[in-house]
Amino acid sequence: MSKPDISKEEIAAIYPKVAEIIADALGSDEEDVKPDSSLINDLAAESIDFLDIVFRLEREFKVKIPRGKAIEEARGELSEEEFERGGVVTEAGVEKLRAYLDEVPADRFPSPLKAAEIPKLFTVETFCKMVLREQKAGE
C-alpha cells in the first residue's frame, strides 16, 4: 500500500484549520503553532491531548484516523520485529520513519530511538498529512 502523494498546496489549504484545532485543544496561542512545531516538545502536548486532537480533526474533516495508523503506515512492509526490537526502533525502522515523516528535521530523530518516543516526532504538519491521507483514502 503506497501512501498517497500530498502536495505542499494541499497541506497549506488545511493547515490554518488544523493549527486552530491544535491550539484550541492545547490551550496555546495560534501564533505559537507552526507547521514544524513538535506537539510534545514545542507545544507541551501529552498523549491524552493526541486523542483529543485526533477526535477534533475527525469531526472537523469528516475522516476516521485509526489509532496507531501513522506508525503502521510508516513501518510499511517491515514486520514488527524488523521495525523495533526490545522497545528500540531498528535502523531500518528509523529509515522508514524518516521517509514517512519527511516533514520532521533529521536532527530530531534521537539515536537510539525508543518506540515510545515516536509521537515526540509528530509535528503540526504530521497531523495535516494524517487528515489528507484519510481524505484521499476515502475518495
* Domains and their CATH numbers in the chain: 8-137 (1.10.1200.10)
Q: What is the biggest distance separating any 2 CA atoms in the chain, rounded to whole angstroms?
A: 41
Contact 14, 128 (CB under 8 A): yes
Contact 134, 54 (CB under 8 A): no
Long-range contacts of 67-76 (CB under 8 A, 24+ apart): 69/130, 70/100, 70/122, 70/126, 70/130, 71/118, 73/1, 73/3, 73/100, 73/133, 74/99, 74/100, 74/101, 76/100
Predicted pLDDT at 54:
95
pLDDT, tens only, 19-60: 999 999 999 999 999 999 999 999 999 989 999 999 999 999
How much is the pTM? Answer: 0.91
